[in-house]
Structure 1
Amino acid sequence: MDHPRRNFLQKLVASAAVVPLLSPYRALAQADRASTGSHQGKTLRVALMGLGSYAARVAEAMQSCKRAKVAGLISGTPSKLQEWGTKFGVPEKNRYDYENFDRIKNDPDIDAVYIITPNALHRDQAIRVAKAGKHVICEKPMAVNAKEGQDMVDACADAGVKLLVGYRMHFEPKTLEVIRMRKAGDFGSISFFQGLCGFRIGDPDQWRLNKALAGGGSLMDIGIYAINGARYMVGEDPVWVTAQQTKTDPVKFKEGVDETIQFQLGFPSGAVASCLSTYQMNHLDRFFMTGEQGFAELQPATGYGPIEGRTHKGELTQPHAMHQTIQMDEMAGILLDGNTPVVPVDGEEGLKDLKIIDAIYAACGTGRKQELRLG
Structure 2
Amino acid sequence: MDIHDALADFDRRDWQTETDLDPVRFAMVGLGWWTREEAIPAVADSELCETSVLVSSDAEKAEGVADETDADARALTYDDFHDGEATDDYDAVYVCTPNATHLEFAESAAEFGKAVLCEKPMEATAERARRMVEACEDEVPLMVAYRMQTEPAIRRARELVADGALGDPVLVHGHMSQRLLEMIPDPDQWRLDPDLAGPGASVTDLGIYPLNTARFVLDADPEAVSAFARSEDEAFDDVPDERATFQVRFDDGTLAACSASQHAHEGGHLKVVGTEGELTVEPAFMGGAFRGFALEVGETSADVEYERRDQMLEEFDYFAHQLRTGGEILPDGRHGLVDVEAIEAVYESAEEGSVVEV
Aligned-residue offset at 1:336:
2.2
SS in 2 for 1:90: coil
Q: Aligned AA for 1:69?
A: E
CA distance in 1, matches of 2:209, 2:61: 30
Q: Find the counterpart in structure 2 of residue 225 from structure 1.
A: 209
Corresponding position of 1:325: 313
2:352 alignment partner, one of 366, 370, 373: 366
Answer yes or no: is 1:63 the counterpart of 2:44: yes
Match of 1:90 among 47, 69, 72: 72
Secondary structure of the equivalent of 2:79? coil
Aligned to 2:153: 174
Alignment partner, residue 304 of structure 2: 316
**Rounded Cα–Cα distance in structure 2 between residues aligned with 1:113 and 1:61:** 15
Distance between the aligned counterparts of 2:195 and 2:91, measured in 1? 30
Q: By how many angstroms is 1:103 displaced?
A: 4.1
Give the CA deviation at 1:257. 4.4
**1:71, 1:110 within 8 Å by CA — same for their partners in 2?**
yes
Moved more, 358-367 or 128-137: 128-137
* Counterpart Cα distance in 2 of 1:280 and 1:364: 18
TM-score, with structure 1 as normaliser: 0.83
Structure 2 residue corresponding to 1:142, chosen from 100, 106, 122: 122
Q: How do residues 345-364 of structure 1 correspond to structure 2 at under 5 angstroms?
A: 345-364=331-350
Q: Among 123, 133, 136, which residue is 1:156 paired with?
A: 136
Q: Which residue of 2 aligns with 1:116?
A: 96
Q: CA deviation at 1:319?
A: 4.4
The alpha carbon displacement at 1:317 in A equals 4.2
Q: Are 2:317 and 1:337 aligned?
A: no
Count of aligned pairs between the two proteins:
329
- The 8 Å contact of residues 103 and 132 in structure 1, kept in 2 or not, is answered as no
Query: Is the Cα–Cα contact under 8 Å of residues 243 and 262 in structure 1 kept in the other structure?
Result: yes
Q: Is the 8 A contact 1:74 1:95 kept in 2?
A: yes
Higher share of residues assigned strand: 2
SS of 1:143's equivalent?
Answer: coil
Q: Among residues 292, 298, 305, which one is paired with 2:275 in the alignment? A: 292
Equivalent position to 1:77, from 58, 65, 69: 58
**SS of equivalent residue, structure 1 residue 252:** helix
Change (3 A) 1:333 1:230: same
What SS class does the counterpart of residue 265 from structure 2 fall into? coil
Q: Which residues in structure 2 correspond to 1:16-31 (within 5 Å)?
A: none
**Is this contact kept in 2: 1:198–1:280, CA < 8 A?**
yes
Alpha-carbon distance in structure 1 between the residues aligned to 2:131 and 2:90: 23
Instruction: Give me the whole-angstrom Cα distance separating, in 1, the residues matched to 2:294 and 2:339.
Output: 26
Q: Tell me, yes or no, if the aligned pair for 2:122 and 2:144 is still in contact at 8 Å.
A: yes
SS of 1:269's partner is coil
Query: How far apart, CA to CA, are the structure 2 residues paired with 1:201 and 1:180?
Result: 33
| Structure 2 unaligned blocks of 5 or more | 1-17
Matched with 2:110 is: 130
Shift of residue 264, structure 1, vs aligned partner: 0.3
What is the deviation of 1:106? 5.5
Q: Is the 8 A contact 2:231 2:239 kept in 1?
A: no
CA contact (8 A) 1:209 1:257 kept: no
TM-score computed with the length of structure 2 as normaliser: 0.87
Shift of 1:175: 1.1
Asked whether the equivalents of residues 73 and 90 of structure 1 are also in contact (C-alpha less than 8 Å), the reply is no
Question: What is the aligned counterpart of 1:242 among 226, 234, 238?
Answer: 226
Asked if the contact 2:106/2:132 (under 8 Å) is kept, the reply is yes
Opposite residue 89 of structure 1, the aligned amino acid is A
- Structure 1, residues 220-253: CA drift from partner, whole Å, max 9, x if none? 111110110221222211211111112222x211
Q: Deviations over 1:259-304 (max 9, x none)?
A: 1111001123322000101112114301111101111111111112
Q: Percent identity?
A: 30
- Measure how far apart 1:98 and its partner are: 1.0
- Alignment partner of 2:339: what SS? helix
Equivalence map 1:256-275=2 (5 Å)? 256-275=239-258
Question: Per the alignment, in what secondary structure is the counterpart of residue 48 of structure 1?
Answer: strand
* CA shift for structure 1 position 327: 0.8
SS of 1:307 mapped into structure 2 = strand
CA distance in 1, matches of 2:21, 2:84: 23
Aligned AA for 1:244?
F
For 2:98, the aligned partner's letter is P
Aligned match of 1:21: none
Displacement, 1:173?
A: 1.2
1:278 equivalent among 240, 257, 261: 261
Q: Relative to structure 1, is the Cα distance of residues 304 and 120 closer, same or farther in structure 2, using a 3 angstrom cutoff?
A: same
Change (3 A) 1:333 1:347: same
Shift in Å, 1:187: 0.5
1:3: which partner in 2? Answer: none
